[in-house]
Structure 1
Amino acid sequence: MESKRKRAPRGYASYVTVLTLGIIVLVMLLNSYRTSIRAHAAQKEVTLRIDYDSKEEATLRAIVPIAANRAMRCMQHQSAAGNNDYELRWQRIFRAAIDESNSAYAVESAVLREFGLQDAVDANPGDKQLYASETFRAYDRDNRYTTPGINQDFGLGFPVPLESVSSQVNDLDHTWPIISDKKHYGSLAAEKVGASVEDYPQFNLIPYPEIRFGYAEPGEMFVAKRNWWAFKMNLSEHHDNITKLRKRTREFVFSIYEVPSQLGISAEAFTVLGQYEDGTEWQNFTIQGGVFASRARIGSGLNLDRISGRHGLEIDANATFGDEAAPGTIESGSDGGLTANPFAPGVRESYELENGDFLPVSLASESGRAAFIPINRGVEFFDRFAHNQETQTVSPTTWNNYSVGALQCAMHLDITDVKDADDPYPSELEFSFLKNGLRQTVEIGLEEGNDIGLPPGYIYIADENETVFFEQPVDVAYGKNGSYYFEEEVVGSVTFENARFGDPLVGTFKAGYYRPSYPFEVKMLHDAKPCIEVYPERFPDFLAQLGADSVEVNHSLSINVDYPGSAYLQKPSIPCTELDYGVILKECGDLTPYPKGFSLVTNLRLYIADDFNVAETTPPAGSGIPTPYYPPCSLFAPEKRYGAEDIPFRLKLGGQMGSLAGGADTGTESVHLFDLKTAMEGDVAHDKIEVNLSPIKHPAALPPISMMNWLVVLEERRSEMYTGKAAAN
């Protein structure tokens, strides 16, 4: 008999359970997937932001040297000719920065090819071509690339503006980086800079930027002029439809500070500090403030407040800086690995943390988006005749006139001829000066005057029956063709006529001549070397005799040899030889009649035969310059000798000392600034040298001619720096 089994009920309850669990698991998987997608999206955005930040930083760093170079080129010959100015525009500066920094792509194509990845799929949506027109724009207008800081107060968060009445500068500065003396501080800067803008429109007292390059202390007032341009940048904006990334537009201020050399020591050379060439340590030396050298070796035992360099600093173990010892050497381990090496990892950070200040030892390469550029023309700085006239420049200020000291001088004195090829003794000088702001030239024959039989030094001034007024005593002559009547020490009105002088040549139309008391003459040094002997103390009266502008305008003198203009004159050699002419400086102790100081520039060997600038005067009103105060003066020559016929017993040097020797990048030959020589070519005894150097602290202390430097800085304008927006044009 077949047994019957009880049939079990259907398992529909199990299906519900499985379905429910499945749905739960599916939801969890979907949620995990969504979380993973969100994490990937967040990671993608973070990666993109990091990528863009790196690209932006690379682009910004590239802008600094490119823009400075293009600003220089805008001042140079033919920069505006044809299409030469196209590459100098801000648009092309930004384009070049993008290209040189390779900011369009995360990895350079050359690197991809090296690893065989040139055909790899690029999953970075931010790797796209960048266009300057879509990446950069002016602060105030979208159809420009930069907003120049001139002729408008842009409000909080912006530097003090410059002003210009030149329509050329105002039109050009939006499109090109223009550096020009036609930009100045005016009423918009009044009470916002440290000195009177009426008295010091070109260079004033402004704060040093917050950078690690210690030419001055951050925030310290120093003498400079700040040219600046504002712009906005966003590398991601025109790709955001692909990347879906919204990135903040950043605002920047690009600045070129024009910085006249003002430190106690400024040397564009490989400079040895603290020791003479024979290894003897400096004695009787006081150096206040900072020191700059393109490359330097700081000797043992020397103490400096601060030092900055461009290409390297070698520091002996016992050198100290400021109040803190910072011994060591740049070359890691060469001295046993001193822990206080200022360039060792962590030393700078520890010093700044403990002292709340920047380390007083710095290199330009440590400054991030900044560069320090000495404008050094080398031996060309001394020679007006080494340069052709520059035309068709973008900037109204040409590069040679800006950077060559000899060309900047108000007065020129040139040797223009000799008697013959066998006799180097000068037979003619040419002197030029400013009168009512216009250049006037006087030819001075040393063998004969301007007319037949006229003694040397007489200058034509009037025709017969004309009247001339002389403020200072002069010698006068009246006549023609070798027949003259003379009067000496004449002052006041002189009518050149027969009634006063008599008729030296009947029937001939005659002329009037005068001879001033020249502040220069030709002298033989050691009875062998023809030299131009110059007497700065005589120039005020001499210029008055010429009816020229005063020494407030005619405050600087270049002395050169016109070798292009004479077949018998040769270009002076540097280093100087005994076959070259020289310049002897005498009667130069009291320069107080020069309210703006005095400068001399020559490409000849300079013999300082008297005390130079040792008479005190009253500091300019409102300058705050302490006493004793002396008129600001500068002497530029390839070689200096102390004394002429006599050897000085003791030398006391004050102010600033510099070198244009150059060769700091790779040159091994060092410069010793204080290995001084006498006129007899002997060394000045080290124990007879006393040096007291200090920085220039006010524009009133700038001499008429100075070396120029550029400090180029790119700073971000952050919202925490200001509380309101600037007004638009």
Structure 2
Amino acid sequence: MKHGSKYCTSGYVSLPIVTGLAIMFSLSLTMLFKSTLMNRDQASKTQLRVDYRQREEALMRALIATFPSKAIASMKANHGDGPEHSWSTIFAEAVRLSSSSQRLSPQILQSLNLRNKLSGDVGDHSSTEVRSWITSLTGEPGRVTPGTMAYAEVFAQPAFAGKVPPLLSASSDLQTADALRPVVSPLKRYASQVPGLMADVTLHRVYNLIAYPNIRFGYAAPGELFVAKRNWWAFTINYGSSQSTVARHYVLSLYEVPSQMPIEASAFAAIGTHQDGTAWNSDTVTIDGAVYAGSMSVAGTYGAARLAGRSRIDMTDEVTLGGLSVGADFDAMGERERLQAERGTDALPVALSANSGRLTFLPLPTGNGYLRRSAPDTTLNAFEEYTAGGQKCRITVEATDMVSIEDQTPTALRIRFPDTAGAMREVVLKRGSNWPTAFEPGGPGIPFQTELTNNNRSCLTFYPSLLDPWLQTNGAASVASNNSLHFGVNPSLNPLNVRVSSDPPAIEDMCVIIRRGKNLTNYTKGLSIVAPLRVYVGDDLNAIPAAAVPAGSGLATGSTFYPPLSIFSAELRVGTTAFNRPIEHHGQLGSLATGTTNAWQPLDMKSGSDDAVHSDSISANLKPLRSPAELPPVHPMNWLVVIEEISQN
């Protein structure tokens, strides 16, 4: 009995233990099952976010690729209505390029029993459906919300207030059109002095001093001030489907960026060497800021902080940029990430716009067409006016008669300029009538004369110091506004005497010489000279600084300020004689050349005798613009297009 009772008691005691263990195992399995379900749910949500991000990235890249050509088409149509350049078309082409409307067909979804599952696809197997998810901030499909004053109330809402760039102003017609098709125009201007605009808006409404965006492409450093105007448009994309929608808001920005870096060209540039293979003199050549070219070879940086190219940057040796050692393999997979880790940012001091994600950097067309000017009765579209340098000149000087077809010394000039009321006025100067030579009474006060170079090239001589009093004597506005001149020839009036200018200029063609331009301080907004001809710099030019920096320029008080000056010519020569004179250059160097075959050597300057200037004769202090007050009247233009999300945190 005792023995049996002992075993019986032991058996009863084991039951709760077994039961407890069973419950524990069951709970463990339940928790494990729940954890597995939670992990699967988290994984599905993570995958959904990845799907959204991939769709977003593809669509943003496609939009960046599509937008610039459509903006140009809108300008060519003078911003008029047209389906080929509407926002609806821009979004439709971006959807097509990104394949955003492609997804599993309804039949396949049904066969996989996925019809009611969450999907990362944007549309419903239809590009029309996808486009309907892209709207203005107020939900209107096929439209955007322009960053202009007409939409200030929208941007004042809590979701956007303080998160968008400064607004621009324009006419009501342009602002209405801007919601339907992109409008890029000098008539869109900054409206008021707000944070982010560092120069006086009342003086610099078109281009101001603003911060460079936080992007990988190093035309300037992120946050660094540069001269530009930011056009922008906001829109919303609703990612997902009716079961799961994610709304995100974006700003598409087109920065109008005047050429402003120390060395800048859209062609192939050879940095650090002359054409004969000799290196630049590192004791006399310095570069402050960035060097930009469509493609470039680099043999030394001479102090440059950044290199920015469109398609290719070749380095003969490792260089140092902003304290970072960079080699020719800077853009190789792995090396780029190593440099980013070393620097602590993905904004490296050397970059190609082609590899920079959601952006494009687009130099607008230049070439020799930039030097030309259309006839007065020619109607140009907005894009042609925007990109033609000669077309922007307020004063035109045409040689309409010459000594002979062999001697292209002008004997008659036709000069057109705006008068004080803004109307165009014309003065015709003729030798033997109302155009005395420099040695005849009245001649020393005329800013245009003639001479021959030492190698007998026929020249029209321009004296910038005499232009202001001569203009005002003839009823014109002063050089404060009449500050850009286009020189050319007009064979239509006397085709037997006047040659059509050649490209490149022929020995027989008329040339232009600039003399007595040492002091340009009365050109308070700068001076620009454009000519599809050979231009000689006859003596010191713009060598006297202004008494003070312009008010509202954003420049530090006490800075040295020279009036902005630009010269665009088919050929530029320093001096008019065989003497190889020393050259000292401060500011920027650029090229209108296009293409990537023939290298442009920025410091290969020519003398009047056509000999290359020896490298030891050149001193160059190359630096970027510091203010819109330093922007000359005529300047090439670049577009920087960027897409950024408006944070909703």
The counterpart of 1:624, out of the listed 545, 549, 555, is 555
Answering whether residue 516 of structure 2 is matched by residue 584 of structure 1, we say: no
Residue 471 of structure 1: aligned partner: none
Q: Structure 2 counterpart of 1:660, which letter?
A: L
1:252 to 250, 253, 259: 250
Task: Choose which of 178, 182, 189 in structure 1 pairs with 2:187.
Answer: 182
2:533 to 601, 604, 614: 604
* Correspondence for 1:446: 430
Seen in structure 2, the aligned counterparts of structure 1 residues 388 and 435 have a Cα distance that, compared at 3 Å, is: closer
- State the Cα distance separating 1:272 from its structure 2 match: 0.5
What is the RMSD computed on CA atoms of the aligned residues?
A: 3.1
- 2:198 equivalent among 181, 191, 194: 194
Structural mapping, 1:500-515, within 5 Å:
none
For residue 190 of structure 2, give the secondary structure of its aligned residue in structure 1: coil
| 1:230 to partner: Cα distance | 0.2
Match of 2:262 among 261, 264, 269: 264
Does the CA-based 8 Å contact 2:408-2:509 persist in structure 1? no
Q: Distance in 2 between matches of 1:122 and 1:307?
A: 54
> 520-529 or 605-614: which moved more?
520-529
Question: Unaligned regions of 5+ residues in structure 2, if any?
Answer: 1-28, 156-160
Contact 1:301 1:318 in 2 (8 A): no
Match of 2:335 among 344, 347, 357: 347
Q: Does 1:643 align with 2:627?
A: no
Partner Cα separation in structure 2 for residue 57 and residue 688 of structure 1: 51
Name the amino acid aligned to 1:456.
Answer: N
Deviation at 1:72, TM superposition (A): 1.1
Quote the residue 1:100 is aligned against.
Answer: 97
**Which residue in 1 is equivalent to 2:225?**
221
- Distance in 1, matches of 2:476 and 2:211, equals 39
Kindly provide the CA deviation profile for residues 140-197 of structure 1, in whole angstroms up to 9, marking residues without a partner as x: 3435520000115422211111112x2221221111110011111122x434410110
User: Which runs of structure 2 are paired with 1:654-673 in the superposition (5 Å)?
Assistant: 654-663=586-595, 667-673=596-602
Counting only pairs closer than 5 Å after superposition, residues 56-95 of structure 1 correspond to structure 2 as 56-76=56-76, 80=80, 85-95=82-92
- 2:435 equivalent in structure 1: 457
Q: CA deviation at 1:597?
A: 1.1
Counterpart in 1 of 2:357?
A: 368
Residue of structure 2 equivalent to 1:493: none
Corresponding residue of 1:142: 140
**Change in CA separation of 1:522 and 1:649 when aligned onto 2, cut-off 3 Å:** closer
Change over 3 Å in CA distance of 1:580–1:66 after alignment to 2: same
SS in 1 for 2:132: helix
Match of 1:171 among 172, 176, 183: 176
How far did 1:386 drift? 8.2
Question: Who is 1:725 aligned against?
Answer: none
Q: Distance in 2 between matches of 1:228 and 1:30?
A: 54
Task: State the AA in 2 paired with 1:210.
Answer: N
| 8 Å contact from structure 2 (residues 79, 181) kept in 1 | no
- Sequence identity percentage: 32
CA shift in 2, pair 1:387/1:674, >3 Å: farther
The one of 160, 168, 178 equivalent to 1:162 is 168
* Corresponding residue for residue 615 of structure 1: 544
User: TM-score, normalized by length of structure 2?
Assistant: 0.84
> 1:253-284: per-residue Cα shift (whole Å, max 9, x none)?
00000011111111111100011111111001
Distance 1:565 1:43, change over 3 A: farther
CA contact (8 A) 1:149 1:229 kept: yes
TM-score (norm 1): 0.75
Give the letter aligned to residue 215 of structure 1.
Answer: Y
Taking the aligned partners of 2:349 and 2:390, their CA distance within structure 1 comes to 35
Measured against aligned partners, the alpha-carbon deviations of 1:59-100 in whole angstroms (never above 9, x if no partner) come to 1111112111111111115774xx7x2110001100010111
CA distance in 1, matches of 2:500, 2:207: 35
Superposed CA offset, 1:226-260 (max 9, x none): 00000001242xx43xxx3x131111000000011
In our comparison, the structure showing a higher alpha carbon Rg is 1
Name stretches of at least 5 consecutive residues in structure 1 with no aligned partner: 1-28, 109-116, 330-340, 449-454, 459-474, 476-487, 490-514, 721-729
Structure 1 residue 399, shift from structure 2 partner: 1.0
Secondary structure, in 3 states, of the residue corresponding to 2:286? strand
Partner of 1:594 in structure 2?
Answer: 523
Aligned positions of 1:187-586 closer than 5 A:
187=192, 189-236=193-240, 239-240=241-242, 244=243, 246-283=244-281, 284-300=284-300, 302-326=302-326, 328-329=327-328, 341-357=329-345, 358-385=347-374, 389-390=378-379, 398-418=382-402, 424-448=408-432, 455-457=433-435, 517-526=445-454, 528-563=456-491, 567-568=495-496, 569-586=498-515
Cα contact 2:219–2:290 (8 A) shared by 1:
yes
1:423 deviation in Å? 5.5
Equivalences, count: 593
Corresponding residue for 1:7?
none
Tell me, in whole angstroms, the C-alpha distance in 1 between the residues paired with 2:77 and 2:609: 43
Preserved contact between residue 380 and residue 386 of structure 1 (Cα < 8 Å): no
Q: How much does 1:212 deviate?
A: 0.3
Establish whether residue 719 from structure 1 lines up as the match of residue 648 from structure 2.
Answer: yes
Cα deviation, 1:25-69, whole Å, max 9, x if unaligned, reads xxxx99999999998887766655544432222111111121111
What is the SS of the residue equivalent to 1:170? helix
Give 1:400 deviation, angstroms: 1.6
Pairing partner for 2:584 from 652, 673, 693: 652
Distance in 1, matches of 2:114 and 2:501, equals 65
